[in-house]
Chains A and B, each alone.
Chain A
Amino acid sequence: MLTRRDIIIKWTTISVAALLLELLFGFLLGGAVIFGVHLFLPPLIVGIVASLEDTHAGTFFALACGVLCDLALPGVFPCLYTLAFTLAALACSYLAKNVVQPGPLCSLIVSALTFAVADLFIMAALGLTDRAPFLEMASVAVREMALSCVLVLVCHPVLTFLHRKFTI
């Protein structure tokens, strides 16, 4: 059983690690366009943390990440990531506790799931404008998801290490 102090240290460390991963990603690959898309890291962090941690904690972490992304990044509508990340985190937590054991494969699946939820929201919002053909949006979403999920190779070991350090 973790004490209140341990919990605070644990979540501060995870948040700082997530921020450092994002900064490192921004410096190294921020402007890179691969196969016509930019890579996007936050869904991976949200999905993996939600799959590793307790449902409540993971979902609130996702909620905080969503709010931060909505405040810092341009979005298709103002509360896109707040809604998408929280819903995705709930689903990721359910998957990790009932369907797939947490591990590299689970991290890959939950990352793809988080992307899918966020992209569905975006596609629904853009679809209403009549200026975004569905096939084009789906193509961008699939490329973004497939290429960004490669970054699981970096995110999974870091976040799993922190989870084990503070839980076991």
Chain B
Amino acid sequence: MKKFFSKYGIWVLAATVLLAVLLSVLSYFSATSSIMRNAMGIVASPFRAAATGVTGWFEDKRHYYADYNELLAENQKLRDELATLRADEQQAERDREENKLLRELLGLREQRRDFVFESAKVLEHSGSNWTRTLTLNRGTNHGVAVNNVVVSSEGYMIGIVTEAGLNWCTVQELVDTDTEIGALVFRTGDVVIAEGDFALMQKNKLKVTYLPADTALLVGDYIMTSGLGGYYPSNIALGVVERVEADDNGLAQYAVLAPLVDYNALTEVFIIKDYEIVE
């Protein structure tokens, strides 16, 4: 065995180490994506789009025939929800008017949230069991940059851009193990951290940690981005609390957070390229 590896192994391993170091260094020092990864992304882009197109077509055909009864039930549920939302909207309109009047009386600046969006199509859902990413068809050519926030058409957070090539970018999904975002509990205003966890990632969930000792989280509580530090815009919905549990040592609590986005159904998303918020 020793002879085998001394005969074949040494210079093969030397070449491997050299390439590995090169890949790591390029990855570390590049603000967007390394030259080689960028080139590979550009070459792979049409293939990814073709693969997504073909599988999407087959999925559409399958759903067309399979989901009729499900759609009828969903339609009824949505009609009920719409009726409730219409009533809420009327109340919100009255509240908005009142809020405007009170702000004018107190001399406060008008609240506004200006976002610069870039719409993008999902080219690929990562097929890895160890990370959760999406590849989109927008890149630095369209003004997309690393750390841009990606949201759904409803405004729910999907993830963060972690790599940007010329005409593609990679989005780390919210449930990925590397996620760590400053968040707050919408109902109480408590500042917490939303972070990925490998075991929960398998179930499309993530963790809410650093819960204040006196916090009383309820199932169904909305968790939003805090916007603290200025990295990401504030008040973007991350998900709802599904349950609260004690951690392994029993001293602290964490909550399991269910994102509001169905990652498997995503085809079109919006990248927030720039934003200005006055609160």
Does B bind A?
yes
Q: Which residues of A contact B (CB under 8 A)?
A: 23, 26-27, 30-31, 36-38, 40, 55-56, 59-60, 63, 66-68, 70-79, 82-83, 86-87, 90, 93-94, 97-98, 122, 126, 129, 131-133, 136-137, 140, 144
> For chain A, what secondary structure do more than half of its interface residues adopt (helix, strand, loop), or is it mixed?
helix
Which residue on chain A has the smallest CB distance to residue B197? Answer: A131
**A27 contacts B128, C-beta separation under 8 Å:** no
B19 at the interface (CB under 8 A from A): yes
- List the A side residues contacting B126 at CB < 8 Å: 73-74
**B130 contacts A126, C-beta separation under 8 Å:** yes
User: Interface residue tally of chain B, by bracket?
Assistant: 35 or more
- Measured between C-beta atoms, what is the minimum distance from A74 to chain B in Å? 4
> For chain B, what secondary structure do more than half of its interface residues adopt (helix, strand, loop), or is it mixed?
helix
With A86-B16, A98-B4 in contact, do A132 and B177 touch (Cβ < 8 Å)? yes
- List the A side residues contacting B4 at CB < 8 Å: 55, 94, 97-98
**B198 contacts A131, C-beta separation under 8 Å:** yes
- List the A side residues contacting B198 at CB < 8 Å: 126, 131-133, 136-137
27 contacts between A and B (CB under 8 A): A27-B51, A30-B51, A30-B127, A38-B127, A40-B128, A59-B12, A60-B12, A63-B19, A68-B40, A71-B40, A72-B44, A76-B131, A79-B21, A82-B19, A90-B5, A90-B8, A94-B4, A97-B4, A98-B1, A126-B130, A126-B198, A129-B177, A132-B198, A132-B199, A136-B202, A137-B198, A144-B129
Q: Which residues of B contact A (CB under 8 A)?
A: 1, 4-5, 8-9, 12-13, 15-16, 19-21, 23-24, 26-28, 36-37, 40-41, 44, 47, 51, 54-55, 125-131, 133, 170, 177-178, 195-199, 202
- List the A side residues contacting B129 at CB < 8 Å: 37-38, 40, 140, 144
**A131 contacts B20, C-beta separation under 8 Å:** no
Distance, CA A87 to CA B12, complexed state (A): 9
Distance, CA A56 to CA B21, complexed state (A): 21
- List the B side residues contacting A60 at CB < 8 Å: 12, 15
Distance, CA A132 to CA B200, complexed state (A): 9
**A31 contacts B125, C-beta separation under 8 Å:** yes
